Amino acid sequence: MPQFDLLVIGSGPGGYIAAIRGAQLGLNTALVEKDPALGGTCLHRGCIPAKTWLETAHRFEQMQVADDYGIDGVDGTSLKANLATIVKRKGRIVTKNAKGIEFLMKKNKVTVLKGFGKLLGGGRVDVAGEVHEAKRIILATGSAPKPIPGLETDGVRVLNSDHILDITELPAHLVILGAGAIGVEFASVFSRLGSKVTLVEFMDTILPLEDAAIGEELAKIFKKAYKIDVRTKTKITRIERRADGVACFLEGEAPGEVVGSHLLVAVGRSPLIEGVGLEATKAQVDRGCVVIDTFMQTAEPGLYAIGDIVRTPWLAHVASDEGILAAEHAAQNLGKDVHPHPIRYDRFPACTYCDPEVGTIGLSEKAAKEKGYDVQVGSFPFAPMAKANIVGEPHGFIKIVADRKYGEILGIHILGPKATELVASSVALLGGEFTVDELINTMYPHPTLNEVFPEAARAVYGRALNM
């Protein structure tokens, strides 16, 4: 019976990173994957392919106003999105990255086992009928689009986030249920490529998990710039599938019947733990998620769980850090000189790649008040910033949530050009090490988008310079 020090089930950004880290620490490591290629949901059906669509939509939009930049010969009215080519380009990028992961496995001497991995208990795992033993196991099986009773997807007219990545016909009218990150990203894509879009969200604002100001401003931009029909506080109660489309019946603040050519159901994801053999272990499951401690350990000795199957933020970079933590803790228990540190979940950056982009970290204004802070906030728009106007995206804002007494920065919320890049530098500003006054006194180069940071900090005290 083959035996390993560490066996990782699932090759997404949590699993394959965990395997690499385990191998680096000298563990005899195996990685199990049921799909033909490595990379998991993020690479094949999530983050990466979705961003290829977003990049195409962004460039498509820019080319429609090429004459404004002094570029003649591009007739914006004659531009047409070729979805088949978009899908092919997406496939090339995914394949290239998958091969890169395969190379990393070979480089780090990680054994790749192809097949469905099932826990048998006692450190044993069945992979395609062969049983393997491992001193430590990391479960990283990820998630899948959440099914909604009555709104079953068929991949033809009623789509989930997997289906829409391979669509080769531009929807005449795309109705999207759910205005979280997935919903607003695809609303941003298809509205720019030429589809009519209706966005339906049950909560009070779109992007309801973000600071309320983000969702409110993004809805305004969606309506004005992209003519998206945004309906919040509204739900789809039932649908009728027709030969040429889908009739959606809405209730709530914006009721009525909306007939779309396609419906995208984007209301979240569900952990993939069915059939993985947890019942053969002492691991506990709570509301569909595996229960873990601060080192990603389950109640089963030697078994760890990471990523979308645990109740932590379901983000690729969070899963990667969890994979590193689990691998290091496993290695420490097996006698390696390594000192893992629990993850600070109060400091994770979150990104939404719609247009304009959203990047946030830390507490929203509402959450900070609920925690008892005496809150003061400062917001500053991108409109006056030279670089934002140069790149043609003078919309959105940055908002800083701070503690009035000590000036501690509690949260940073960005809606605007390159927000997903700008938020990366915000990570170091949280946690009490940096105050509003220190941010005011930090020098940023001109002209850059980063200049909004000290301006927003000054706005906390009501003394922004460029307003």
Q: Helix, strand or coil for residue 83?
A: helix
Q: Tokens 């690499």 — which residue?
A: 20
- Residue of 44, 132, 339, 446 with catalytic role: 446
- Phi/psi class of residue 389: alpha, beta or left (left: φ > 0; alpha: ψ in -120 to 50)? alpha
Q: Smallest Cα–Cα separation from 41: which of 267, 315, 265?
A: 315
Reading the block at residue 444, the tokens are 């940023």
Signed CA dihedral, 446, 448, 449, 450: sign only: negative
For this structure, is 44 an active site residue?
no
Report phi then psi at 145, rounded to 5: -55, 135
Q: Output the DSSP codes for 141-172.
A: --EEEPP-TT----SSSEE-TTGGGG--S--S
Contact 307, 10 (CB under 8 A): yes
Q: Helix, strand or coil for residue 246?
A: strand
Contact 50, 135 (CB under 8 A): no
H/E stretch holding 238: strand 234-242
Q: In this structure, how many other beta carbons lie within 10 angstroms of the beta carbon of residue 167?
A: 20
Q: Tokens 């339906």 — which residue?
A: 200
Please give the Cα distance from 359 to 207 (Å, whole number): 12
Contact 8, 32 (CB under 8 A): yes
Contact 206, 232 (CB under 8 A): yes
**Burial level of 243, CB count in 10 A (0-12/13-18/19+)?**
exposed
Please give the Cα distance from 192 to 54 (Å, whole number): 9
Find the helix packing angle between 83-107 and 47-63, rounded to 10°. 140
Please give the Cα distance from 142 to 124 (Å, whole number): 20
- Beta bridge mates, 301: none
Q: Which residues are catalytic?
A: 446
